[in-house]
Amino acid sequence: MSGPLRIVVVGGGPVAARLIQELRPALEAGAAHVTVLGEEPVPAYQRIRLGDVASGRVDGAALALLDVQDEELAGVVVRCGVRVVALDRDRKTVLLDRTSGTPGPSVPYDRLVLATGAHAVIPDFPVSGTVGRGISVPAHGDGDHPVGVMALRDLGEARRLHQAVRDAEPVVVLGGGVLGVEAALALAEVGAAVTLLHRGHVPLGGQLDPDSGRLLLRQLLAAGIQVRPDCGVQELVVAARAQDRATVHDGVPHLTAIRTTQGRRIPAALLVACTGVRPRDELAAAAGLDTLPRGGIVVDRNGRCPDDPSVFAVGDCAAVLGSRPSGLIGPGWDQARAAAGAFLAEAGVPAAVERDAAGRPVLTPTPTPTPAPTGRLDPIVVKSHTLSVACAGDLTADPWDPQGPSVSTWADPEAGQYLRIVTQGTRLLGFVSIGLPRSAAELSRHALTGTLPVADRSALLAMEHAAADRELGPEDVLCRCSGATAGQVHEAAVECATVDEVGGRCGAGTGCGTCRGRIEELLAGPPVRQPAGSLA
């Protein structure tokens, strides 16, 4: 191929940013040129941290993953606010929306990467209330949501939510999945009034076993979240203006409350719908590429479309080997790397090989995009400043089945603690940890390899708290530097008045000096002095 490989990336999110990073060797070799076409007005940022932006604990600017000028220097053109309307696979170009079409309405590519992500699916709620000059709105559902109904997928939404928090407006979060729980927790942790509505008896019902679900429910209530289990939105109640601050939307229906399926009316300036996402595969589908019925562009392990070797898909829009996208960032990163590897090979840039001191290549495992055959689990760690919740894998095994996997459980609801570990041999099949941060950290780490070698599970619990100092016996070394035992020091202390004198006799306290306090205590202790000579 003559000239650098022209790679066009549609979508400017975190997986696109990772792809650019992985392509660095090809960019440095001048073997590739990358154009990123992002729909959002800002370059890639760490979407997974939006909850912290909503709560105001993190400034959105701190989440930036790309700098347009730095990337330009590296050979990457990052265009923001650009909407792609169609792919022309025959001409190998992508067509841009006219309104964003500078410097041209189409962009040619040698390789196209679809990193379009997913969009939130917000149910069509019936609406009731009054707008404008007292005109009443009958309950209807035409897909156009009133102002105040939002997802939490981009910076604009996160900032809007933060505004509500600052204005002490009531917020309702709909959805008991990870995103819903995280959003509700983030708001409650900064003192905002928040209600969480979810289907099923417990939040995170799809990930947790019933007991840990009940504990999580209890902990969310304790965190100040109004949790309404087994509950959905019956209808939205709107008014012409939301309080007194919507000038641009004057006359447009604004959310003021929601009515739940249980018949309760809950005031709400914002309804944050965490009700699932759908992969954005419209461009691919319209271009005749294979997509899943429920969304997802079918690709191979390297992210390449089987129908068109010039087109790739990575991240939340990609269905690797036809399995539904997980929505997690880790697999997205792995896909970005796999696709970059394919491009490096095509561009003739040798993959960096690590060599040992003798010059032999070192074998490191290449992370395989999900679904991985290695038994690796993708852990879910709930992002919260107050509550430690982590889980992964399958928790449904019966603890009492001798033929089944091994199940260990620890529950202390009063202390807010629950731990369940499911293993088969050294394979980790699943776990949940609530209120046990150290165990959560260890187990989520093991989930990434899918193994758990330790036989005695109670060791994990023991690690939750630092080991306490124990009493020293006479044979135990008291001064590590000199090797003097507690017995020797005790003996010396009987005859000495100062720490230095003790040091002169047995060496204790003459090294690092950390035992000097102990020696002082011995010297100041109860008068155990015995008559001189009795020790001889």
Partner 1 sequence: MSELATPAPISAPTPAATATRTHCPYCALQCAMTLTLEPSPATSPSTNPVTVTGAEFPTNRGRLCRKGATSAALLGDRPDRLTTPLIRDGASLGRANRDSAPLREATWDEALDLVASRITALQQSHGRDAIGVFGSGSLTNEKAYTLGKFARTALRTSRIDYNGRFCMASAAKAATEVLGLDRGLPFPLTDLDAACTVLLLGSNVADTMPPFVQHLERARSHGGLIVVDPRRSATAQLTGDGAGHHLAPAPGGDLPLLLSVAHVLLAEGLADEDYLSRRTTGLASFRRSVADWWPERSQSVSGISAGRIRWLARHLAAAARASKAGGDPVFILTGRGVEQHRDGTDTAKAAISLALLLGLPGTRHGGYGTLTGQGNGQGGREMGQKADQLPGLRSITDPADREATARHWGIPADALPGPGLPATQLLHTLGTEHGVKALLVHGANVAVSAPDVQHVEEGLRALDLLVVCDFFRSETAEFADVVLPVLQWAEEDGTLTNLEGRLLRRSRAVDGPRGARSELWILAELARRLGSTVPLVSEPAEVFEEIRRVTAGARADYAGVAWDRLGEVAAYWPLDEHAPGTHPGPPEITVSGEPVIGTPRVFTESFGHPDGRAHLGPIHVRDPQPPSAQGLTLTTGRLMEHYQSGAQTRRVPDLLGMHPEATVSVHPATAVGLRLVEGAHAELRSTSGSMQARVVFDSGLRTDTVFVPFHFAGRGAANRLTAGLLDPLSQMPEFKNTPVTLHPAPSVDGARS
Q: How many residues does the chain have?
A: 536
Is 414 a binder of partner 1 (CB under 8 A)? no
What x-and-dash track marks residues 17-56 binding partner 1 by CB under 8 A? ----x-----------------------xx-xx--x----
Query: Among residues 59 and 244, whose Cβ is nearest to partner 1?
Result: 59
Is 165 a binder of partner 1 (CB under 8 A)? no
Sign of CA dihedral 309, 319, 116, 143: positive
Q: Find the binding residues for partner 1 in span 379-398 (CB under 8 A).
A: 379, 381-383, 385, 388, 390
- Report whether 182 contacts 206 (CB < 8 A): no
Is 73 a binder of partner 1 (CB under 8 A)? no
For the record, the structure tokens of 461 come out as 């619990």
Query: Among residues 210 and 513, whose Cβ is nearest to partner 1?
Result: 513
Q: Which residue of 451, 491, 494, 520 would you call a contact of partner 1, by CB under 8 A? A: 451
H helical segments located in 30-115: 50-55, 68-74
Shortest approach of partner 1 to residue 372 CB, angstroms? 14
What x-and-dash track marks residues 188-227 binding partner 1 by CB under 8 A? ----------------------------------------
Is 524 a binder of partner 1 (CB under 8 A)? no
Q: Find the binding residues for partner 1 in span 112-151 (CB under 8 A).
A: none
User: What is the rounded CA–CA span in Å between residue 334 and residue 518?
Assistant: 54
What is the DSSP-derived secondary structure letter of residue 468?
Answer: P
Piece of the chain touching partner 1 by CB under 8 A; list 185-193, 198-206, 308-316, 446-454: 446-454
Tell me, by CB under 8 A, how many residues bind partner 1: 73
User: What is the rounded CA–CA span in Å between residue 1 and residue 19?
Assistant: 22
Q: Which residue of 244, 356, 471, 475 would you call a contact of partner 1, by CB under 8 A? A: 356
Q: Which residue of 142, 456, 471, 475 would you call a contact of partner 1, by CB under 8 A? A: 456
Is 471 a binder of partner 1 (CB under 8 A)? no
User: What is the rounded CA–CA span in Å between residue 263 and residue 259?
Assistant: 6
Query: Among residues 68 and 246, whose Cβ is nearest to partner 1?
Result: 68
Q: Which residue of 165, 447, 496, 506 would you call a contact of partner 1, by CB under 8 A? A: 447
- Report whether 122 contacts 275 (CB < 8 A): yes
Is 80 a binder of partner 1 (CB under 8 A)? no
Q: Which residue of 459, 476, 495, 498 would you call a contact of partner 1, by CB under 8 A? A: 459
Residue located via tokens 């709560």: 55
Is 63 a binder of partner 1 (CB under 8 A)? yes
As to burial, measured by CB atoms within 10 angstroms (0-12 exposed, 13-18 middle, 19+ buried), residue 375 is middle
As to burial, measured by CB atoms within 10 angstroms (0-12 exposed, 13-18 middle, 19+ buried), residue 385 is exposed
For the record, the structure tokens of 329 come out as 């960032």
- Report whether 411 contacts 210 (CB < 8 A): no
3-state secondary structure 383-442: CCCCCCEEEEECCCCCCCCCCCCEEEEEEEHHHCEEEEEEEECCEEEEEEEECCHHHHHH
Q: Which residue of 64, 168, 286, 321 would you call a contact of partner 1, by CB under 8 A? A: 64
Query: Among residues 148 and 435, whose Cβ is nearest to partner 1?
Result: 435
Q: Find the binding residues for partner 1 in span 296-335 (CB under 8 A).
A: 329
Q: By C-alpha distance, which of 9, 1, 7 is closest to 110?
A: 7
Piece of the chain touching partner 1 by CB under 8 A; list 212-220, 227-235, 399-407, 510-518: 510-518
Shortest approach of partner 1 to residue 137 CB, angstroms? 42
Sign of CA dihedral 200, 205, 210, 215: negative
Phi and psi at residue 528, to the nearest 5°: -100, 10
Query: Among residues 83 and 518, whose Cβ is nearest to partner 1?
Result: 518
Q: Which residues contact 479 (CB under 8 A, 6 or more apart)?
A: 489, 506, 507, 508, 509, 510, 511, 515, 519
User: What is the rounded CA–CA span in Å between residue 448 and residue 529?
Assistant: 60
Q: Which residue of 80, 448, 472, 523 would you call a contact of partner 1, by CB under 8 A? A: 448
For the record, the structure tokens of 534 come out as 């009795």
Phi and psi at residue 208, to the nearest 5°: -100, 160
Shortest approach of partner 1 to residue 516 CB, angstroms? 10
SS3 at position 474:
coil
Q: Which residue of 467, 528, 532, 535 would you call a contact of partner 1, by CB under 8 A? A: 467
User: What is the rounded CA–CA span in Å between residue 103 and residue 421?
Assistant: 56
Is 466 a binder of partner 1 (CB under 8 A)? yes
Piece of the chain touching partner 1 by CB under 8 A; list 143-151, 217-225, 262-270, 365-373: 365-373
Shortest approach of partner 1 to residue 94 CB, angstroms? 26
Is 248 a binder of partner 1 (CB under 8 A)? no
Q: Which residue of 453, 474, 525, 530 would you call a contact of partner 1, by CB under 8 A? A: 453
Q: By C-alpha distance, which of 343, 301, 344, 342 is closest to 322?
A: 301
